[in-house]
């Protein structure tokens, strides 16, 4: 373990789709002060920890700013390769079902392989898992929920701690995994009975935030285990997102990282 106790900051951008969320995230990160050249790691660490303690969270909502990508290159288009790969996987699974049945060992093994390939180490989905979710969501259930909100999270100062800060790749990776765990554990999923209409009523009254189960790929590490960016697709009122969900996620991103230094 790196000798200095530090935490990675976290920024978030919120929009109606990935492109808006990405634009808002860039604004959130640009509004933050990056460590100055030659600044002592201990001072950087203290400053970020102090911001967490004060509830000074960096999240921006998209509001008609110029989009990051002028050509409208959305997230689903970027993932076309993975969508095609996911289609092939599902088609092969269906062929096994037709030939051997869905209670066969061959079917179960290939299904488990698909699930394993779709996950990152910390429990979120990778790009393949996100693509898989787009092909397997129930359109009737999604229609009940209405438009989703996209939140893009990104860890701050990763390059600093990998380099000048001296923490190194292994230590930084453990902190990114802690942030991933915080997202996975602190975003609520559907009711146990899968009653999305009940969840929809809660969303309308601003009392509930909804992320579909992780098997559906709604919390995604967009660049896989090598990345520090996380996409969350959820159904929530803006008031609840701003006042409850985001503060909860930021707080636990901090606590999960501190727990690295005080393992239970």
Do 208 and 240 touch, CB atoms closer than 8 A? yes
What pLDDT score was predicted for residue 80? Answer: 83
d(CA 162, CA 8): 11
Residues of the chain by 3-state class (helix, strand, coil), percent to 5: 55, 10, 35
**Across the strands, what pairs with 15?**
150
What pLDDT score was predicted for residue 126? Answer: 87
**Across the strands, what pairs with 234?**
149
Full DSSP string of 86-127: HHHHHHHHHHHHHHH-TTSHHHHHHHHHHHHHTB-TTS-B-H
Going from the C-alpha of 259 to that of each of 50, 61, 116, the distances in angstroms are: 17, 30, 27
- 219-221 and 10-15 strand pairing: unpaired
- Of all helices (H) and strands (E), which one includes residue 155? strand 149-155
Phi, psi of 183 (to 5 degrees): -65, -45
d(CA 3, CA 234): 38
Domains in the chain: boundaries: 10-258
Percent of the chain with pLDDT over 90: 30
Centroid of chain to Cα 79: 16
What pLDDT score was predicted for residue 189? Answer: 55
| Regions of the chain with pLDDT less than 70 | 1-3, 36-38, 65, 67-78, 188-218, 263-264
CA nearest neighbour of 16 among 124, 128, 146: 146
pTM of structure? 0.82
Do 168 and 2 touch, CB atoms closer than 8 A? yes
Going from the C-alpha of 75 to that of each of 8, 20, 58, 132, the distances in angstroms are: 25, 10, 23, 14
What pLDDT score was predicted for residue 24? Answer: 92
| Dihedral sign for Cα atoms in the order 14, 15, 19, 24 | negative
What pLDDT score was predicted for residue 264? Answer: 61
Secondary structure of residue 235 in the 3-state scheme: strand
């Amino acid at each position: 373990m790196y000798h200095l106790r530090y935490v990675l900051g976290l920024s978030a951008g919120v929009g109606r789709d990935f492109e808006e969320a990405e634009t808002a995230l860039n604004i959130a990160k640009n509004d933050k002060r990056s460590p100055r050249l030659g600044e002592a790691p201990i001072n950087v660490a203290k400053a970020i920890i102090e911001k967490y303690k004060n509830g000074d969270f960096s999240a921006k909502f998209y509001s008609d700013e110029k989009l990051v990508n002028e050509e409208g290159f959305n997230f689903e288009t970027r993932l076309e390769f993975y969508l095609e790969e996911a289609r092939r996987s599902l088609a092969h699974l269906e062929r096994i079902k037709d030939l051997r049945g869905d209670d066969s060992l061959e079917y179960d093994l290939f299904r488990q392989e698909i699930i394993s390939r779709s996950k990152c180490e910390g429990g979120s989905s990778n790009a393949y898992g996100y693509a898989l979710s787009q092909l397997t969501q129930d359109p009737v259930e999604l229609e009940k929920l209405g438009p989703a909100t996209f939140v893009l999270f990104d860890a701050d100062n990763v390059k600093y701690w990998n380099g000048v800060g001296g923490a190194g790749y292994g230590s930084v990776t453990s902190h990114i995994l802690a942030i991933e765990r915080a997202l996975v554990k602190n975003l609520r999923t559907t009711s146990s009975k899968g009653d999305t209409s009940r969840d929809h009523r809660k969303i309308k009254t601003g009392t509930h935030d909804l992320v579909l189960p992780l098997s559906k790929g709604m919390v995604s590490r967009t660049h896989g285990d090598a990345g520090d960016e996380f996409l969350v697709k959820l159904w929530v009122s803006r008031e609840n997102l701003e006042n409850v969900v985001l503060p909860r996620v930021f707080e636990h991103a901090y606590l999960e990282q501190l727990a690295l230094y005080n393992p239970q």
